[in-house]
Amino acid sequence: MIGSQNKQQRPARGASARPIRPPRERGTGRAFVLAALMHVLLIWLLYHGINWQNTPAGAKAEIWTEIPDQSAPTPRPAPPPPAPVKVQPAPPPAKDEDANIALQEKKRKQEAAQREAQLAEQRRQQEQAQQEAEAKRQQQLAAQAAAASAAQKAMQDKQKQIEQQRQAELQKQQQKAQQDKQRQQQQAEAQKQEQQEAKAKADADAKTKAAADAKAKAAAEAKAAAEAKAKVDAERKARLAVLQGQLGGGTASSGEGLAKSRTGKGASGNATPGYAEKVQRRVRPNIVWAGETTGLETVVSVRCSPSGMLLSANVTRSSGNEQWDQAALRAVQRSDPMPVDIDGKAPDHFTITLRPAGG
């Protein structure tokens, strides 16, 4: 894939780009030198081997036989078998030839011994070179192994040191996180305690203020009730005086209560059954009470004119809670004038039983 990409990219560089050549192999010159030396040594060995195998020339003998004439077409009788030819033995070598042969044999042996010695020396040198190379290789391997072991040990020591530093840093971070957590918890507890104290103080202040406000309100309501009562008493006295003057000094008859029985009697006779409900609808919206509701019941005695104008209102039976009694009395006073009955007149005297909502 890469080769194809290179082939595709080479033409784009231009015609002047150098062609790709394989990298030169290392040791080529040394190989040629060794090959030449081996050829020279081989030629030298062949030359001395041929000289050693040469022997002195011996005697030569030539044997001639008669060749039959084949030019004549007529057959001839078979010739008799030729007589055996005696081969003369070669003359004995001369003494000079023996000395030359002995000298050549001695020279051959010396050359052979020298050649054997050279070969033995070469083998010894080769073996020694091999042993030295092997020893050197073993030393290099031992050095490499020692270096690798030292490097591995150094790496392990470095990794161990890094791991120790990491553990120390992690422990430090954990301690710092734990300290931060404890500090945050302490701050949260302190803040919570401060909030609780502030809330308790605010609650105490609110209770104190509520008690003071309630006390002030009760005092104001009591004062207002006293003023209203005084005002109502004054108005009632004035109205009574006016009524007495109109009636010639007569007095109104008494009536029965309307609170529980929902009925009552007035100056004009008995009240109808629906009158108590009219009075309840008139008084109920004027009740203002936010306190307790259980077990409170107040009876208020009411005197009014035939037109329903309130002449007097007094608590005849208390509930035991003065504040509720005053609230009930104020509700009756705010209901002036009272509703009239179906005959167009209101009973002159009746009672109202009041209970707080939910009581």
- Three-class SS string for 14-37? CCCCCCCCCCCCCCHHHHHHHHHH
Question: Which DSSP helix (H) or strand (E) runs through 351?
Answer: strand 349-354
Residue 93 is predicted with a pLDDT of 53
Distance between CA atoms of residues 309 and 100, nearest Å: 189
Taking the CA atoms of 225, 227, 231 and 236 in sequence, report the sign of the dihedral they define: positive
pLDDT per position as a tens digit, 336-356: 888 988 888 888 888 888 888
The domain limits of the chain are: 98-217, 252-354
- Rounded alpha-carbon distances, angstroms, from residue 93 to 89, 105, 108: 12, 16, 20
Residue 117 is predicted with a pLDDT of 92
Q: What tokens were used for 5?
A: 């990409």
Q: Which CATH architecture has domain 252-354?
A: 2-Layer Sandwich (3.30)
Pairing between β-strand 265-266 and β-strand 269-270 as defined by DSSP bridges: antiparallel
Residue 164 is predicted with a pLDDT of 92
Weakly modelled stretches of the chain, pLDDT under 50: 1-9, 11-12, 14-15, 245-269
Give the residue ranges of DSSP H helices in the chain: 2-9, 28-53, 95-247, 275-283, 322-334
Residue 37 is predicted with a pLDDT of 92
Q: Please, what's the b/e burial string for 100-118 (b: 16 or more CB within 10 A of its CB; e: otherwise)? A: eeeeeeeebeeeeeeeeee
Tell me the sheet residues that pair with 248.
none
Distance between CA atoms of residues 349 and 275, nearest Å: 13
Sheet of strand 349-354: strand arrangement: 310-317, 298-304, 349-354
Residue 88 is predicted with a pLDDT of 55
Residue 40 is predicted with a pLDDT of 93
pLDDT per position as a tens digit, 279-334: 888 898 998 888 887 888 999 999 988 888 988 899 999 888 899 999 999 999 99
Residue 32 is predicted with a pLDDT of 86
The pTM assigned to this predicted structure is 0.30
**CA torsion, points 48, 53, 56, 62, in degrees to nearest 10?**
-130
